[in-house]
Amino acid sequence: MVVKLRYLFSFSVMLIIFISIIVYDSVGFASLGLSLDELIIGFGGASDDIFDRLKSLVRNFEADINSVVRINNGVEAVSVRLPVHLRSAFISKVSRIFKPLYIESNHIYRACFVPNDEYWSLQWGFRKIQVDFAWNISVGNSSILVSVVDTGVDWNHPDLAANYVALGYDWVNDDSDPVDDNGHGTHVAGIVAAVINNSIGVAGLSQVKIMAEKALNSTGYGSTDDLANAIIHSVDSGAKIIVMSWGDYYDSFLLHNAIRYAYSNNVLLVAAAGNDAVSEPMYPAAYSEVVAVSATDRWDNLASFSNFGDWIELAAPGVSIFSTVWDDSYAYKSGTSMAASFVAGVAALTWSVYPQLSRDDLRIYLREKADDLGSPGFDIYFGYGRVNAWKALENSTKISDIAVFGVVPGKAVVGQGMRMRVYVNVTNLGYETEVFNVTLYANRTEANCLEMTLQAGESINLTFEWNTAAFSFGRYLLSCCVDPLSNEYNVSNNDKNSSVFVWVAMIGDITGLNPGEPDGKVDIRDVALVARLCGSFSSDRDWNPNADVNDDDKIDLRDVSLTASNFGKKT
């Protein structure tokens, strides 16, 4: 019986092994939950003998061969799949035994996105700013709303309807239908957000939502009050970007106030520089709150008609641009109006990928990613350069963003020379593991500094210890700051202030006429408060952190003694 059981057990084990081999061969490593790597081993035309020897080695490393690449019947390279934890040992042994010409990762390449829109071949400006490469990363996000303040939009145009939202207004005719009766606004809208890959017409730079504010009449002219109303209404409707392909040399208080209103609401404002080939400031483009855009041709020269000056921020294609026009049609147009639309579209595409960027950080980011034209650095013709959509998106997996979300003092009053704790939340909103310093300041004087390592998406609650020995009596605003990282463009969240002030006072001076504020003397009220709470801990209902004089999470005779030792003294 024992013998039969032994044979039965042996047979069962063999059967399990046999089944495991079948499963292994049929489903592979990944289905068994192993982390895999794929390597290419280059032999440069070796004989099949090398290949046969490699197969034997591969089996010893629990690996398998994906494919063999041959050139003129010689083995050019072999693709091998193996568990990640065996990668280093495998490479070492293969290098020692076979001395291959190269070993590299089996990299994955992407198909370059080429839209099937009928007139894509006519859209030279899009290819100039390399948006077809950028589309491999993103074509845009519908959460971004762009307002076209112009002659209106042919909102039922087959190349615009899917991206249009009916949030705008017709200020010229005073109704809720901002339909285009000129064609200019529709041309602008098509550059920004014509529907991509729908087999008809043109492709827009970004697949975001667009709204129309009609403030220019059928001849392309509009009054200050209508334009101001259109800008304000765009902001109130939730627009994140406003494109203004119009202007004049008149500096209006009302128009500037509308621009300031949009700017104060974190809206990115983009405007045409003008088409008179002069350096005189054109408004609204020349306002500091606005991105002023000059126009370039297909050879990256400044367009013959484009305005210029030290108020230009960016340049973009603006000569013979093919886009949508009214009556469901398409046409070429030239002007800085078209160039401004390019910048608005690239901004919308970039914000779709980097939603954590503030408006000002996005503005700086677009400058840094532009192609520098003309004189090195900033110049009066191209500003910081001609926009490049691909450069703006190509490092989407490497962008850094460290945010400080909370700075909470452990108490409102601390005795001079004593220590107190400050609680800080720091989060890595980026895509890479980062090593950085977090610095605590008291009235912008450094109080402490910690070095941190945070993985992508990780959040941590830090506890700083502030030694107040070097700080004089007085009120302090605590803040915490992370120095900007090399690839960090959203720096607006790197610095955070506490919501309350902290007083550095005489040891034991913990009460005053105002709650949480010392009164400059240690009297019976201070001693009474500490004595009444003696024996309590931080978890108790009546806990008062100011009475924990030495900040050890309990109020005991040591706290009473520290307070009583200064009884009767004044600052």
Domain boundaries, the chain: 24-105, 120-393, 397-505, 507-571
Spatial separation of the C-alpha atoms in residues 174 and 558, rounded to whole Å: 75
Looking at domain 120-393, what is its CATH homologous superfamily?
Answer: Peptidase S8/S53 domain (3.40.50.200)
Q: Render each residue's pLDDT in the chain as its tens digit; 571 residues.
A: 444 434 444 444 344 333 333 333 333 333 334 467 788 888 888 888 887 888 888 888 888 888 888 888 888 888 898 888 888 888 888 888 888 888 888 876 655 578 899 999 999 999 999 999 999 889 999 999 999 999 999 999 999 999 999 999 999 999 999 999 999 999 999 999 999 999 999 999 999 999 999 999 999 999 999 999 999 999 999 999 999 999 999 999 999 999 999 999 999 999 999 999 999 999 999 999 999 999 999 999 999 999 999 999 999 999 999 999 999 999 999 999 999 999 999 999 999 999 888 899 899 999 999 999 999 999 999 999 999 999 999 876 677 889 998 899 999 999 999 999 999 999 988 878 899 999 999 999 999 999 999 988 888 999 999 999 999 999 999 999 999 888 787 788 899 999 889 999 999 999 877 777 899 999 999 999 999 999 999 888 889 999 999 999 999 999 999 999 999 999 8
pLDDT at residue number 506: 95
pLDDT at residue number 5: 39
Structure tokens at 230: 């259109």
Question: Whose CA is closest to 211, among 196, 233, 184?
Answer: 233
pLDDT at residue number 396: 66
Instruction: Just give the CATH number of 507-571.
Output: 2.60.40.4130
Cis? peptide before 355, omega within 30° of 0: no
Q: Which of 147, 206, 245, 337 is catalytic?
A: 337
Mark whether 150 is an active-site residue. yes
Q: Are 150 and 214 in contact (CB under 8 A)?
A: yes
Task: Write down the pTM of the prediction.
Answer: 0.69
Q: For residue 239, give the 3-state DSSP assignment.
A: coil
Q: Which of 117, 132, 150, 379 is catalytic?
A: 150
Q: Which of 117, 154, 184, 187 is catalytic?
A: 184
pLDDT at residue number 58: 85
Spatial separation of the C-alpha atoms in residues 439 and 280, rounded to whole Å: 46
Fold of 397-505: Immunoglobulin-like (2.60.40)
CB within 8 A of 492, min separation 6: which ones?
358, 360, 361
Q: Do domains 397-505 and 507-571 have the same CATH topology?
A: yes
Looking at domain 24-105, what is its CATH homologous superfamily?
Answer: Peptidase S8 propeptide/proteinase inhibitor I9 (3.30.70.80)
Structure tokens at 58: 């591969």
